[in-house]
Amino acid sequence: MDRAKLIIGNQTHELDIIKGTEGELAIDITNLRNDTGYITSDTGYKSTGATRSAITFLDGEKGVLRYRGYPIEQLAENSTFLEVAYLIIYGELPSPVELENFTNGITRHTLIHEDMKKFYEGYPEKAHPMGVLASMISALSTFYPDDHNTNLDPEKVDLTIRRLIAKSATIAAWSYRKSQGFPIMYPQNRYSYCANFLHMMFALPTEEYDVNPTVVRALNTILILHADHEQNCSTSTVRIAGSSHASLYAAISSGVCALWGPLHGGANQEVIDMLKKIQAQGGDVKKMVEKAKDKDSDFRLMGFGHRVYKNFDPRAKIIKKVSDELLSELGVDDPLLDIAKSLEEVALNDSYFIDRKLYPNVDFYSGILYRAIGIPTEMFTVMFALGRLPGWIAQWKEMRDNNEPISRPRQIYIGETKRDYVKIGDRG
Ligand code: ACO
């Protein structure tokens, strides 16, 4: 095995080099503190590998994304969200029987306990659906206390996984209905996962919901594209929360909260707000680009840049194509799409963005697609969470199956050194 040498003063320490199946390299520092008294410092974990994972491979320089070895382009073209969910969670594409059982298991658990319905009455009318989703998923643990200490009994874990995927869609759709003052729609077992979600979002109580296969296909694609993305902010949160052996519901709820922020999953909502602002100000995209470049302003071009993709985001390419197709098929003429296109063109030709390798990410076009489907802006990040659910679950499962230790980073303390307490009357 190759070794790395670390020289501190006159001491040389040898460290193992770990090589991944795609040739990725890491220096194993697990015993560094014990052996040397030193820790490493890496705020934001830009050079830290927190785990060894067999779920998702991505190469940010080449714009490659694969789930369990399968290229995202092939899965987006040929698969469904539930099939991809199975692949990500269990490691292999399902046989027809396995897929049928998985799908039926999810379909059978879409109802949520009637008592949970009462919670919706307590939220303020304008409650953000991400807050509702996080708290309702956390609340599921109180309705299924047996799922808590599953001790990785595979059958119980599988049941919790099915409950989570099924009920999260119902919780999400109902949070939208409530925010609009509309009656909730119960799930219909005859529909596919995506069709059922659209039914719960948009059906009128008096009419049969008219399922549009193009919309169902687009929704499947966008959920597939979001299904996992290795050790990002929310996924790391799920693994860290789960590493204390908190329940899967609690770990996922933490992930939803982490996803909410505008630098992560909240960016898709911010993109639309930004495009609307440009529209309201007369459509001057150059002004917005200049503002994003101005170091005196903390404004960033939403939907641009990515921690790992420094060439292009392969998901953005697929989503752009799917949203173009959907818009033309539905005959939607969205002025925000024109603004998005001009903004992209201006930014991609600007040396500030070129030099920093800032390209449109998946969120840049996902909002346009959601708008075309009729999903309101506040629900965008919730849609991201529904898509990311299989990834979070798979990462939690991998972490528990591998018996990973509780996560507990260290720090370099830079505060005051020891000083004595001064009574309040003696302070100046
Ligand atoms: N607009 C303007 N400048 C930007 C942008 C942007 N969107 N993104 C990065 N920069 C600049 C930074 O100011 C910095 O400039 P400097 O070197 O002159 O100081 C340089 O590019 C590098 O930026 P970092 O913040 O170091 O890059 P990092 O990898 O930490 O951040 C991030 C990545 C958070 C995604 C960032 O690009 C960003 O804030 N983008 C906008 C929000 C967004 O779209 N988030 C969605 C991410 S995708 C997802 O979560 C699914």
Q: Which residues line ligand 1 (CB under 6 A)?
A: 263-265, 267, 292, 300-307, 356, 358, 361-363
The residue annotated as part of the active site, out of 109, 128, 199, 306, is: 306
In this structure, the residue with its CA closest to atom 19 of ligand 1 is 295
pLDDT in tens, 2-20: 899 999 999 999 999 999 9
Query: What is the structure's pLDDT at 334?
Result: 82
CA–centroid distance, 351 to ligand 1, in Å, is 15
**Ligand 1 atom closest to residue 304's alpha carbon, by position in its atom list:** 7
Q: What is the pLDDT of residues 175-187, one digit of tens each?
A: 999 888 899 999 9
Q: Domains along the chain?
A: 3-49 (2.20.28), 65-260+386-401 (1.10.580.10), 267-373 (1.10.230.10)
- Which of 42, 358, 359, 383 has most ligand 1 atoms within 8 Å of CB, for mutation? 358
Residue 150 pLDDT greater than 60, yes or no? no
Q: Where are the alpha helices (DSSP H) in 144-264?
A: 154-180, 193-202, 213-225, 233-242, 248-259
Average pLDDT over residues 238-244: 97
Catalytic annotation, pick one of 147, 228, 313, 363: 363
Residue-wise burial string across 111-135, b where 16 or more C-beta atoms lie within 10 A, e elsewhere: ebeeebeebbeebeeebbbbebbbb
Instruction: Assign 65 a pLDDT band (cuts: 50, 70, 90).
Output: very high
Question: Which residue lies with its CA nearest to atom 31 of ligand 1?
Answer: 307
**Smallest CA separation from ligand 1 atom 22, residue:** 356
Find the mean pLDDT for residues 219-229: 97
pLDDT on residue 149 = 61
Q: So what's the pLDDT on residue 125?
A: 84
> With contact defined as beta carbons under 8 Å apart, do 55 and 167 qualify?
no
- Lowest mean pLDDT across 24-28, 84-88, 322-326: 322-326
| 426 is annotated as an active-site residue | no
The residue whose CA has the least distance to atom 21 of ligand 1 is 356
Distance 229 CA to ligand 1 centre (A): 17
pLDDT at 367: 87
- Which pLDDT tens digit goes with each residue over 388-419? 999 999 999 999 999 999 999 999 999 999 99
pLDDT of residue 293: 93
Q: Is 13 helix (H, G, I), strand (E, B) or coil?
A: strand
pLDDT of residue 181: 86
Take residue 288 and report the two structure tokens written for it: 């917005």
Q: Which residue has the higher pLDDT, 85 or 268?
A: 85
Give the Å distance between the CA of 300 and the centre of ligand 1: 7
Per-residue H/E/C for 153-177: CHHHHHHHHHHHHHHHHHHHHHHHH
Mean pLDDT of the chain: 93
- Residue to probe by mutation, ligand 1, list 43, 272, 300, most atoms within 8 Å of CB: 300
Ligand 1 geometric centre to CA of 307 (Å): 7
Res. 323: pLDDT tops 60? yes
Is 306 part of the annotated catalytic residue set?
yes
Give residue 52 CA to ligand 1 midpoint distance, Å.
Answer: 26
> What's the confidence (pLDDT) of residue 268?
87
Predicted pLDDT at 71: 98
Query: What percentage of the chain reaches a pLDDT higher than 70?
Result: 99
Structure tokens at 67: 């789930």
- As a whole number, mean pLDDT of residues 282-299 equals 90
Distance CA 371, CA 273 (A): 12
pTM for this model (two decimals):
0.91
Average pLDDT on 205-234 reads 94
Instruction: Tell me the mean pLDDT in the region 362-377.
Output: 90
Give pLDDT, residue 337: 84
Q: How far is the CA of 301 from the centre of ligand 1 (A)?
A: 8
Dig out the tokens for 53 from the structure.
């994972």
Which of 306, 312, 313, 366 has most ligand 1 atoms within 8 Å of its beta carbon, as the pocket-test mutant?
A: 306
Question: Quick one: pLDDT at residue 157?
Answer: 93
In the reported structure, the alpha carbon of residue 270 is separated from the centroid of ligand 1 by a whole-number distance in angstroms of 14
Instruction: List the residue whose alpha carbon is closest to atom 28 of ligand 1.
Output: 307
Closest CA to 268 of 163, 387, 177: 387
What pLDDT is recorded for position 46?
93
Percentage with pLDDT > 90 across the chain: 76
